[in-house]
Amino acid sequence: MLRVLNRPEHLIATLAAAGILIVTMGTRQSLGLFIAPIDESTGLGIASISLALAVGQFAWGAIQPVAGAIADRHGPRAVLIGGVLILALGCAVTPFMHTGFGLIVSLGLLSAMGSGASSFSVLIAAISHRLPLEARGAASGVINAGGSFGQFVFAPVLQKLIQAVGWMGTMWTMALMTLAALPLIGKLTGGQGVTPVRQTHQAGGLKRAIGEAARDRSYLLLHASFFACGFHIAFLATHLPGEVKLCGLPPSVASWSLAIIGLANIAGSLTIGACIAKYRSKYLLAAMYASRTVLIALYLIAPRTDLTFYLFAAGMGFTWLATVPPTAAIVGKLFGIRYLATLFGLTLLSHQTGGFLGAWLGGLAITRFGDFGWMWYADMTLALLAALLTLPIREALVVRVPAPAAA
C-alpha cells in the first residue's frame, strides 16, 4: 500500500499526520474509561458525566468545519498547534472540575474542540494538498490507521494508570502525552502553512462552495449516513465499559476491547484505503454499515463472556473509523480538494451530532432502564439505514491508471 507514497517527503508527511492522530484520537476514544472513576470520586452520576461527553461529541464535530475553513484560508499549521495545546489544557483542568458544568467545560468543550481542530478534516485536507490523486486514498488510510493505533495503545495504558495513580493523575499524565504531537506538526506542514491548491469554486469562494454542497443530494445523503455512523460509534466508545460492568466482567475486558477495536481498525483502515483506488467508495460504505447491523445482532444473542466482547470488538473495529477515508474521498470527488477541509468538516459535524445523541441517550438509557437494550436496537436500525442511504449517492466510476511497464 505504501508503494504509492514513493517520494520520501510524501511518506514523511503522511506518517506525521498519522502520528498526530495517534495522540488526539487515542486520547479522545479512551474517555469512556473515566466515567466510572469520575462517578465514584465526585458522585455526579453516570447521566451527568455522559452528558459532558455527549457535548464533547458534538463540540468535536462542530469545530471541524471552523478549523477546516481557517486551514483552507491560512494553512493547517497554526490550527493544529492550537488544537493540541487546547486538548492538553482540557485534560489538565478536568481533575479540578467537581460539577457537571465543569466537566462540560473541560471534557465537553476544551478537550473535544482541541482534539477536533487537530483531527481528520484538517489532517486529510493537509495531506491531500501535498499528494497526487492516486496516492490520496492510501494516505488517508494510513492517517486513519494512526487514529486506531492511538486507541489500541492508549486504552490499556490509561486503564493501568487509572488503577495505579487514580483518574486525576492519569488525566494530568494524558495532558503531557498530548504535547508529543507538537513536533510532528512541523513534519506535516514543512515548517510553514500549506498554500491551498487552486481548483474549483474560485468565483464566490468558500461561501459559494458551501451553498453548492448544501444543494447537492449526494452530499446530503452522505451527511445522513455519517450521522448514523456517529451515533453507534459514540455509543460504543462511551458506554462499552458500562456494558462490560453490567455483565459482571472486570474493567480490563473493557480496556482490552477498546484496544482491540483500535488494532482491528488499523487493518480495516489500510484495507479500505487501498480499496478506494479500486472500487466506488459508496459501496465500501454500504458494506461496512451493513456489517455493523449483523455484528450487533450476533452480539445480542451471544453469551456475555470475555471472548464475546473481544470478538465483537474485532469485528466492529475493522470498520470503526474506516468509514472516514471513503467519506472524504466522495466529498473530494464531488467538489474537489480546494475546500475539502471545510466540506468534509461539515460531514464530520453531522457525524458528531449523531455522536452526541449516542453518548447522551446511552447515559439516559442506563439510568432509566438499568441496561442498554433499547440502544442496541437503535444502533442496529441506524446502521442499516446508513447502508441504504449510501447507495443512491452520485459517484464517478473509478478510473484505473495502468501500472507503468517494467524497463
Measured distance CA(152)–CA(168) in Å, rounded: 21
Q: Which of 275, 280, 266 is nearest to 321 (CA)?
A: 266
Location of C-alpha cell 451530532: 353
CA distance 258 to 240: 8
- Cα–Cα dist 251/167, whole Å: 14
- CB neighbours of residue 191 within 10 Å: 9
Q: Model's pTM, two decimal places?
A: 0.74
* pLDDT tens digits, one per residue of 319-351: 888 898 899 889 988 888 788 878 888 898 898
Q: Give domain limits for the chain.
A: 7-194+205-390
Say which amino acid occupies 203.
A
Other beta carbons within 10 angstroms of residue 310's beta carbon come to 16
CATH number corresponding to 7-194+205-390: 1.20.1250.20
Label residue 233 by pLDDT band (50, 70, 90).
Answer: confident
Closest CA to 391 of 221, 216, 215: 221
State how far the Cα of 103 lies from the Cα of 84, in Å rounded to an integer.
Answer: 19
Distance CA 299, CA 309 (A): 8
pLDDT above 50: residue 164: yes
Which residue in the block uniquely carries the three cell numbers 457537571? Answer: 100
Interacting residues of 262 by C-beta distance below 8 A, sequence separation 6+: 26, 29, 148, 149, 150, 151, 152, 153, 155, 317, 320
Q: What is the pLDDT of residues 57-86, one digit of tens each?
A: 888 888 888 888 888 888 888 999 999 999
**What digits encode the pLDDT tens for the residues 270-327?**
888 788 878 889 999 999 999 999 999 999 999 999 999 999 999 998 988 889 889 9
Q: What is the pLDDT of residue 395?
A: 82
